[in-house]
Amino acid sequence: MDYFLELFLGGLTRGSIYALIALGYTMVYGIIELINFAHGEIYMIGAFTALIAASVLNIMGFGPVTILILAMVLAIVYSCAYGVTMEKIAYKPLRHSTRLAPLISAIGMSIFFQNYVLLAQTSDFLPFPSLLPELEILEPYAYIIRSSEVFIILTTFGVMVLLTLLIKFTRIGKAMRATAQDRTMAMLVGVDVNRVISMTFIIGSSMAAIGGVLIASHIGQINFYIGFIAGIKAFTAAVLGGIGSIPGAVLGSLVLGWTESFATGYISSDYEDVFAFGFLVLILIFRPAGLLGKATTQKV
């Protein structure tokens, strides 16, 4: 039973990590139906910015709390800046072309950002300081769960609730929903679509940055490639849950995390990714729109 519980918790952590990135994927997809392949790279840039900021601040002699806050803020600011710039350069000019053009552009952006960081920084793994405080109340349970895991799980659920509220009740949330439904119509009734899309990228990038800082300090090392690996998994999770749906992204991530964890625990980690992708195919065969996606009857 203990074994099961530990695998369950491991899967929960894994799933929460995927979810932090998957939320950004699903938001962008929900609004402009674009698979933003470079979203993982925004997460990676967030983590790098935080690492650089933390190292500089550390040398300047700041305390751990100041470092955590400043590094987090800078990571968010820079991730948003990169996200918005990317949207303006690579996606906005393509809004009226075929579906494939923005996808290729996104793949190009992803390759570009990876190599940009690789060249400007390094290809080696860099140790990432553990910025998160260790919670004393968890000390007796240290063998089963870590503080950073608790932070990640709580943040994931917090972010999910906040996003849902934001989209349901705020003005920008309503504008987002309108844009998602019908961009032309939204424009006609006075929604500033460009602003809505920029906001979407800002929110998505912020989540990637928060994820980047939390996950990097949990794992303890980063390099230029972390975004791509995590990004593919997060994208899988978002599709599994029904892309475009916010609770779907979280559910899909958790399901994926547990699939991998239990497959490793009870079968073999050799094929953990095979199980993950196989499970995705299986789900999509029976629910072609994902777990929480709405199966739409196409209007004729």
Partner 1 sequence: MWKFFSLDEIKKSLLMALWFIFLTFPIMVIRVNPIYNVVEWRWQNMALVGAGAFFLSFLWRYFLEYKNPAPSKPADDAAVSRSGRFSELLRSSGTRRLAIGAAVILALAFPYLFSSYQVNIMTTALIYVVLGLGLNIVVGLAGLLDLGYVAFYAVGAYSYALLNLHFGLSFWICLPIGAALAALFGILLGFPVLRLRGDYLAIVTLGFGEIIRLVLENWNDFSKGPSGIAGIPRPGIPGIEMSLNASSVFLYFLMIALALFTIMVVSRLRNSRIGRAWIALREDEIACQAMGVDKTKTKLTAFALGATWAGMGGVMFAAKTTFINPASFTFLESAIILSIVVLGGMGSIIGVIASAFILILLPEYLRAFSEYRMLIFGAVLVIMMVFRPQGLISNVRQTYRFKGLQENKEGD
Partner 2 sequence: MARFKNAQSLKKGFVLTVAAVAFVALVVLPATSFAAKDAKAGPLKIGVGGAHSGDLASYGLPTVKAVELVVKAKNDAGGINGRMIELLTQDDACKPEMAVNAASKLVTDGAEAIIGHICSGATNAALGIYKDAKLVVISPSATNTDLTHSGNNPNFFRTIGSDYAQAKSIVDFSLKNLNAKNIAVIHDKGDYGKGLAELAKSLLEATPGVAVALFEGVTPGAVDYSAVVQKIKQSKADAVIFGGYHPEASKIVTQMRRRGMKIPFISDDGVKDDTFIKVAGKYAEGVYATGPKDTSKNPLTIKAIADHKRVYGEDPGAFFINAYAAAQALVNAIEKAGSTDFDKIVNALHNEPVETPLGNIKFDERGDAIGVGFSIYQVQNGVYVEME
Which chain residues interact with partner 2 by CB under 8 A?
A: 3, 6-7, 9-11, 13-14, 17-18, 118, 123-127, 142-144, 146, 215, 219-221, 223-226, 229-230, 233, 260-262, 264-265, 268-270, 272-273
Among 26, 110, 147, 156, binds partner 1 (CB under 8 A): 110
201 scored as a contact of partner 1 (CB under 8 A): no
Q: Which CB, 188 or 281, lies closer to partner 1?
A: 281
Q: Confirm or reject binding of residue 192 to partner 1 (CB under 8 A).
A: no
CB of 280 to partner 1, least distance (A): 6
Contacting partner 1 within 259-288 (CB under 8 A): 270-271, 273-274, 277-278, 280-281, 284-285, 288
61: contact with partner 1 by CB under 8 A: no
**Residues 87, 160, 222, 274: what is their CA dihedral angle, to the nearest 10 degrees?**
-100
Q: Which of 91, 45, 105 is nearest to 227 (CA)?
A: 45
Q: Is 185 or 271 the residue whose CB approaches partner 2 more closely?
A: 271
- What is the nearest approach in angstroms of partner 2 to the Cβ of residue 173? 30
Question: Smallest distance from the beta carbon of 179 to partner 2, in angstroms?
Answer: 32
Binding status of residue 78 toward partner 1 by CB under 8 A: yes
* Burial of 142 per CB tally in 10 Å (0-12, 13-18, 19+): exposed
Tokens, residue 27:
């938001």
Q: Name the residue with tokens 């990571």.
A: 75
